[in-house]
Structure 1
C-alpha cells in the first residue's frame, strides 16, 4: 500500500454502516500513515451493522457540522444498506460529499454507498460499480455500471462488496498519492 503520511481522509458514516466497510479502510489508511476522521451527523459513537445484525460501536472523531471538507484530501463512503439511506436524506451530508467532488478530491464509495453518488449527481456519466442491487439505480442516474471488484474513474473509486476491500483500499491510496484530478466533463 502507498505511504499516506501527511494525507487527511474523512470517512462519512452514521448508524448502520457495514462494519468491515468502515473498519477495514480506517485501519489500512491509518496504517499507511494517513490521518483519518470518522465524520457523522451523530456525536459520540455510531453502531455498525455486521452482516445480519447490529455490530460494534465506532467512535465519531468529528461531527458533520464541525467538519470542513477543505481539511481533507479524500472522502470514503462505507456502505451497508441503512447508513447511505439515512445519509442521502441529510442535506449537510450531501453538501459535504459534493464539495469533495467539486474540489477535484478523491471520493471512494463501497457497496451501497453509491446511492450517495446518485443523490449528489456525481454518478452521472461516470464509470462505477456498486452492490449489484444498485445497478439499475446507477444506470437510471446516468452512470456507467461495471461488474468489477473496483472501478476508478478520474478520482472516483468504487467497489462492489466487503470482499473487495483490500483492492479498494489499494486503489484509493494510489489515487490519493496522485492527488487532485482535473476532471473532464462526464
Structure 2
C-alpha cells in the first residue's frame, strides 16, 4: 500500500506527525506532499521539508490520500484545484480517503459525504449529512476523525 499525506502551511502538527509516524512504523509507504512547495510551516511554527511537492507527483500512483486539519491548511487545500480533482478520482475509484479535524469539510463540499456517516471537528457538524459523535468513522472508502485528540486512533 502506498499513501500520501498532503500538507500546506498551517497543518495541524499532531494530526500529520502522528499519522506519518504510526504508518511508517507499521511498514506502510507514505509520502509527505507539500502544497505549493516542499518547505511547509505547521500550525505551531515547526518548519518541515516534505518528501515531494504536489505538482511533482502523480496521485493516481497512490492507494490512498490523507488530509490533516488546521484551519489555514484546510483553506489552502480547499483552494488547490489539482488536489480537488485527485480527490474526486480517488473517490470514483473507491480508493482510501482519510480526513481529520476540519478536513472532512473539503470532502463535504465535493459531495463525497452525502449519504455517508462521518465525523468532523466539534462545532463543524452542520456540514455533514449524517454527523456522528464517534472519534473515528469509517464508511466505505472514507475515514473521518474529529481532531488532534483522536489522531492516534485515526492513524
Which structure 2 residue ranges, 5 or more long, are not aligned?
A: none
Instruction: Please name the residue that 2:32 is paired with.
Output: 38
Computed over aligned residues only, the root mean square deviation of the Cα atoms, in angstroms, reads 1.2
Q: Could you state the TM-score of these two structures normalised by the residue count of structure 1?
A: 0.79
**TM-score w.r.t. length of structure 2:** 0.94
Aligned-pair CA distance for 1:133 = 2.0
SS of structure 1 residue aligned to 2:143: strand
Size of the aligned set, in residue pairs, is 155
Q: Which consecutive segments of 4 or more residues in structure 1 shift more than 2 A?
A: none
Q: Name the counterpart of 1:130.
A: 120
2:96 equivalent to 1:110 = no
Pick from 43, 50, 74 the counterpart of residue 84 of structure 1: 74
Question: How many angstroms apart in 1 are the aligned matches of 2:54 and 2:22?
Answer: 23
What per-residue deviation string (whole Å, max 9, x for no partner) do you get for residues 37-67 of structure 1? Answer: 11122222111013xxxx2112222221222
- Which structure 1 residue ranges, 5 or more long, are not aligned? 1-6, 170-186
Query: Could you tell me which of 2, 11, 15 is aligned with 1:8?
Result: 2
Larger Rg: 1
Q: Distance in 2 between matches of 1:77 and 1:43?
A: 16
For residues 158 and 94 of structure 1, do their structure 2 counterparts lie closer, same or farther at Cα, with a shift above 3 Å needed?
same
